[in-house]
Structure 1
Amino acid sequence: MWAVTSTNGTVSVRGPWDPLSPEKAAALLAEAEFPWWIAGGYAIELAVDVPYREHSDLDVLVLRRDQALVRRHFEAWDLFSADPPGAGSLRVWPVGEDLPNRVHDVWCRPSPDQPWSVQLMFDEADGGEWVSRRDARVRRPLAQLGRATSTGIPYLSPEVQLFYKAKDVRAKDELDFERTLLLLDADQRGWLVDALEMTMPGHAWLTRLSTLGRR
C-alpha cells in the first residue's frame, strides 16, 4: 500500500520499500558535497565482500552538521523524518528546515508514488571526531569511521556498525557479527571491546571478542 500523507504533513501508512543497491546509492551520491557512508547490514556485507543475506532497506550515514547540504542534494526527492522517533509515523522534511536533535532517521523516495529507497541516518560529530548519538563518550576519528570497497563505495567501518547492532541483537545481527568477527583487526576489536564495556558491560559479544585478544 502506498503511503498516505495527511493534511498535517505526516504519513500514516508507510508504504513499500524497494531499497537501492549500494552501487546505485553511490551513483546517487557521487556529486554529494558532504561525507557519507553505506551503513546497516549492507555495510557489514561490503566489509565481508560476499553477499550472504537479504536486506529490507538501505541505510546511509551522514553527519547532522551537514544536514543543509544533504537536504539540498535530495531537493527533488520526497523526504520524511521519523519525528518523534519510534512513534510509527513520518513527517515531511521541507527544504530549509533544520531537523531537531531528536530526529536521527529520514526516509527517502524519488516521488510520492514510488517506494522508499534510502534511509538516511544522522550522527553527530565534534571537530574531527564522530560521536555516538547514544553515548557521547563513544567516539572515533572521522578518518577511521569508514572504509571503501575496491570500486570506491564508502561504508561504515564494521566495528562501528557492530556497536550499533549490539543494543538490540536480532538473528540477523548475530549473523553479521559472526561473519565479521574474524575480519576485525586488533585495533577494531579493541575499540569495539572498549565501547561495549563502557556502554553495555556484560554484553555476550565481549566473550567472543576477548578470545581473539584486544591488541
Structure 2
Amino acid sequence: MGDNEEVWRPLSITEIHSIFSIIPIQWWIAGGWALDIYLQKVTRAHEDIDIVILRPDHLILQRHLGRDWEMFIAFKGHLIPWNKNQLLDSHYDNIWVKKKDESTWAFQVMLLDIEEKNWIYKRNNTIRKSLEDIGLVSLSGIPFLKPEIQLLYKGGSSVIREKDFIDLGNILPKLNVSNRDWLKKSLKIQYPHGHKWIELIDSYAKV
C-alpha cells in the first residue's frame, strides 16, 4: 500500500461482531468471509477481514472507534490519516483500521453508496438493490453481504485474482436461479462486450 507497511493481523468474525454490534449503524461482513459465512464453512485462508457500512454512517463509526482505534483512508496506493470529523467525499470508500499503538491492521471498512433506500453499485450506478435486500444474517446473528453482490464486486474489479475464481466456483452451485441471473445481468451491464464469468454462470444454469 505504497508508503505504509502492509502487515495484517485480522480480527475474528466474533471480535468484529462484538465491536460493531454496539455501534448504532447498519453493517455487514463482506469479502471472502461473507461467502464462507454463506457456505457455513471455511473454504480458504483469509488475509484480512472486510466490513461494509452505509456512507452516511461513516462519522458515527469514527466517533465510536476513535478512542481505541486509528483509521486511515486507503486511496490510490496510499494510506491517509482520517482526521476527526472529516467527511469523506465520494471518491473515498476504503478505510483501514488498527489498534492505537499497534502496527498491524485489524480490519477494513468499505463505504456503500446509497440513494434514498437503495444500495448503488459504484462502478455502474444503474445497478441497484433495496437496502433490505443486500444482506443476510447467519445462524449466530452475524450480518453479511449477499453472495451475488459480493461476487459482483469481485468479478467487476479491474483485477480478478485466483481466489476470486475459487470463490465463484464455491458459490455458484449454491445460488438459486434468480440470484445467478441477477449476477449475470449485472456483469452484462458493467461489461456489455462480455465477461469471462458469464460463461461460467451459464454453465451452472445448464446443470
Aligned counterpart for 2:173 among listed residues 182, 199, 204: 182
Alignment TM-score, normalising by the size of structure 2: 0.92
Query: C-alpha separation between the residues in 2 aligned to 1:60 and 1:133?
Result: 16
Aligned position for 2:196: 204
Give the deviation of 1:156 after TM superposition.
0.6
Unaligned runs of 5+ in 2: none
Q: Structure 1 stretches (4+) deviating beyond 3 angstroms? A: 211-214
Equivalent residue runs for 1:22-61 within 5 Å:
22-61=13-52
Equivalent residue runs for 1:50-199 within 5 Å:
50-76=41-67, 77-82=69-74, 85-86=75-76, 88-166=77-155, 167=157, 168-199=159-190
Unaligned runs of 5+ in 1: 4-10
8 A Cα contact 2:23 2:64, kept in partner: yes
Query: C-alpha separation between the residues in 1 aligned to 2:136 and 2:47?
Result: 23
Query: C-alpha separation between the residues in 2 aligned to 1:170 and 1:36?
Result: 25
8 A Cα contact 2:97 2:105, kept in partner: yes
SS in 2 for 1:117: strand
8 A Cα contact 2:123 2:190, kept in partner: no
Letter in 1 for 2:140: T
Query: C-alpha separation between the residues in 1 aligned to 2:203 and 2:164?
Result: 20
Letter in 1 for 2:102: D
Query: C-alpha separation between the residues in 2 aligned to 1:172 and 1:208?
Result: 15
Describe the superposition over 1:68-117 as per-residue Cα deviations: whole angstroms up to 9, x where unpaired.
Answer: 111112112100001xx22x221111221101211111100111324110
Alignment TM-score, normalising by the size of structure 1: 0.89
Query: C-alpha separation between the residues in 2 aligned to 1:186 and 1:143?
Result: 20
Describe the superposition over 1:146-197 as per-residue Cα deviations: whole angstroms up to 9, x where unpaired.
Answer: 1111001011100000001002221100000000001111221121111011
Length, aligned pairs only: 202
Give the deviation of 1:13 after TM superposition.
2.5
Query: C-alpha separation between the residues in 2 aligned to 1:112 and 1:80?
Result: 14
8 A Cα contact 2:25 2:60, kept in partner: yes
Query: C-alpha separation between the residues in 2 aligned to 1:158 and 1:26?
Result: 19
